[in-house]
Structure formats: C-alpha cells, structure tokens
C-alpha cells in the first residue's frame, strides 16, 4: 500500500472515531437532559441490578427536586419490558409509591410492552398511560421451585399468597373488577391487552 493510501486510511479511521465519540457525547447529553427533566426508563428484563440502578437514580432526582421550590415535581417512568424478577419489580413499584407520598406526581407509560412484573410497575403511576401501538400482559407469578414435597408445598402457598396480593393491587387500581374475578379470568394464563382493552378494564388511565 502506498504512503498516500496509508494516510487516507488513517484519516478515515480518525474521522470514524470522531463520529463515534460525537454520537456517544450527544447520547450522554440527551440521557442527562432526560433524567434532569424527571424522565426515567425501564427497558428490558427487570432484574435486581437494573431495579437497584433505576431506584437510585429516581431517589437521587426526587430528593433534589422535592427540596427545590418547584411544587409537585413530575417524575415519568417509560416502560418497555418483558417483566422479570418478582422482588425487583415490587421494589420499583413500592419506591414509586413512596416518592408519590413525598409529594411527587408520578406518571408511568408503556412504550412497547409491559408484561408480568412490568405491568405491576405500571400500576404505581398516579397517571398510567399506554402508547397506541403498545400492549400489556398479565399472568400468575411463576417459580422454578424444587426440593422436598413439604418445601414445594410451602413454595406453592407463598406463590398463592403473592398472586392474591398482586391481584388485590390490580383490582384496587382498576376499580372495575373483584380480586376473585381477576384471579379466575385474568391471572390463570397469559392474558394480553390492547390499549383499548387495558383502558376498558382500568389497567391504564389513557392512551397517548
């Protein structure tokens, strides 16, 4: 390869690196602006690690803004998640409700899908929204339990109690059906909802 060709390749490589660095910088700036504006994102699987990171970010923002002079700061959580770990999802839900008691106005919104535990997190919003092309999915709590017969029986009892608690949460937020009906007609299988269906049964407050 000639010396000129080598120089041209090096220049192209340098230009490409500069473009990548610029894109990274712009993305980091956009992310910073979003978080500074009270916008947060729950994307992908709900895990202990992702829940902890999200909770720390929201609580830090909340403390800063509750102490400011702005009345009723707005926190928005955008959701696009297939669900995930039970404890992780419940920790996000309960954190959001705790922030609401601190005086924040919480909006949760689905942009894609909110399945399983992500649908539970959605219910934490004072205002719950869903995009016109998005969807919800509810079902029973699942577990890959193993052990002795007695251990499996205790695990089953725990899962049943958890299912009932989650059914009560959905029923309370909906205000349109009983816990017993929800457990029998909705949570005994994977149940998908279009935006219109979710709005009709009270799982969201609006389509936007």
Structural domains counted in the chain: 2
Q: Sign of torsion, CA 173 174 179 182?
A: negative
Q: Which of 50, 81, 91, 116 is catalytic?
A: 116
Same domain, 82 and 115: yes
Catalytic one of 139, 142, 143, 174 = 139
Do 123 and 202 lie in one domain? The reply is yes
Residue 139 appears among annotated catalytic residues: yes
Confidence at residue 34, expressed as pLDDT on a 0 to 100 scale:
47
The answer to whether 103 and 72 are in contact (CB under 8 A) is yes
Are 77 and 106 a contacting pair, CB within 8 Å? yes
Token match 């890959």: residue?
144
92 and 156 co-located in one domain: no
Let me know whether 158 and 79 are in one domain: no
Name the residue with tokens 């009709």: 200
**Pair 135, 82: CB distance under 8 Å:** no
> What is the residue-level pLDDT of the chain in tens, covering all 208 positions?
566 655 555 666 666 666 555 455 443 433 444 456 899 999 999 999 999 999 999 999 998 887 665 667 899 999 999 999 999 999 999 999 999 998 899 999 999 999 999 999 999 999 999 999 999 999 877 655 566 666 666 766 767 778 888 889 999 999 888 888 777 777 778 899 999 999 999 999 999 9
Strand, helix or coil for residue 196: helix
**Do 127 and 149 lie in a common domain?**
no
Provide the sign of the torsion angle of the four alpha carbons 135, 141, 147, 148, taken in this order: negative
* Residue 48 counted as domain residue: yes
DSSP code at position 25: H
pLDDT of residue 147: 61
Domain range holding 203? 38-139+191-208
Residue 73 in any domain: the answer is yes
List own/partner pairs for 4-10 with CB under 8 A and 24 or more apart: none
């Amino acid at each position: 390869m000639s010396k000129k060709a080598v120089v041209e390749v090096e220049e192209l490589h340098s230009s490409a690196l500069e473009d990548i660095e610029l894109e990274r910088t712009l993305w980091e700036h956009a992310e910073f602006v979003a978080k500074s504006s009270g916008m947060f994102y729950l994307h992908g699987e709900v895990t202990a690690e992702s829940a902890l990171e999200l909770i720390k970010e929201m609580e830090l923002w909340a403390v800063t803004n509750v102490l400011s002079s702005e009345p009723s700061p707005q926190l928005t959580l955008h959701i696009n998640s297939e669900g995930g770990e039970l404890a992780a999802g419940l920790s996000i839900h309960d954190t959001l409700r705790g922030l609401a008691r601190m005086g924040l106005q919480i909006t949760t919104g689905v942009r894609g899908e909110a399945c399983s535990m992500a649908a539970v997190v959605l219910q934490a919003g004072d205002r719950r929204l869903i995009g016109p092309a998005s969807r919800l999915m509810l079902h029973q709590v699942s577990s890959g339990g193993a052990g002795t017969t007695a251990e499996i029986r205790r695990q089953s009892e725990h899962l049943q109690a958890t299912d009932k608690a989650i059914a009560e949460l959905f029923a309370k937020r909906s205000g349109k059906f009983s816990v017993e009906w929800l457990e029998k007609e909705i949570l005994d299988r994977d149940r998908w909802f279009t935006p219109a269906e979710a709005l009709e049964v009270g799982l969201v407050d609006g389509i936007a």
